[in-house]
Amino acid sequence: MRPGSSGVIVNGLRDLYHLGAITPQQLTEARVWMSEIVVRIACERATDEDFAALDANIDAAAKAPDFDQRARHNREFHVILARATRNPIMVITMESIMAVFGNFIAQIGPSDILGHSDVAYWRKSDPGPRLPWQRLHEAGIGAWFDESTRAMYQRRFCLGLPPEVEVERAFQRYGYKPAQNRRAFEQRTRAFQMHFRARDYCGFLDAQTCAILYALNEKYRSL
């Protein structure tokens, strides 16, 4: 291993991920925890050059023409922060985590990452409401709704929810399996809420849940 090289660690993490020894949730947790430490230390040690590099990265991400390039700049942002700590272990670890994230996205597609509870809502409840889906999206992984679109639909649905048959079609359009009965409908609603509204996942269909569903379909399914 060359001094300052993350290649061996990247390959090791990648192998562990492919073997199932590392789960997406564990990978996400590691990134979140690392980022919290890195940001705190970088704030203490960063130089003007580091801040300039961060600004340049943000500008490049804003001008990126497609998702893949934006995601690449996002991963680079975390590595630049790690370099600002002046700790090579932080840099190598962050480079490794970001590299495995990049492979993960390339394999399954950036907006199609789901939990077991999304795929099999009638018998699975993991990963549950604690997985930071919004943070994942901000890191370039998974889907999330646009807040302005959600707010627009919620104002409409506060005046009256769409018919359940229409909501059923919206769930299926987004990719959920059909609900065969009332219990299944509530289980699926609860799974959806755990993913996109973790603070309240009672399974009750309300205006905000419908608004999030319709906003997601508009963004990713051309509703």
Chain segment 6-55, per-residue pLDDT in tens: 677 778 877 777 777 777 777 777 887 888 899 899 999 999 999 999 99
**More confident: 37 or 63:** 37
pLDDT for the residue 215? 95
The reported pTM is 0.51
Residue 106: which residues within 8 A CB-CB, separation 6 or more?
none
> CB-based burial of residue 124 (10 Å sphere; 0-12 exposed, 13-18 middle, 19+ buried)?
middle
For residue range 140-197, what is the model confidence (pLDDT) as tens digits? 667 889 999 999 999 999 999 999 999 999 999 988 888 889 988 998 898 899 889 9
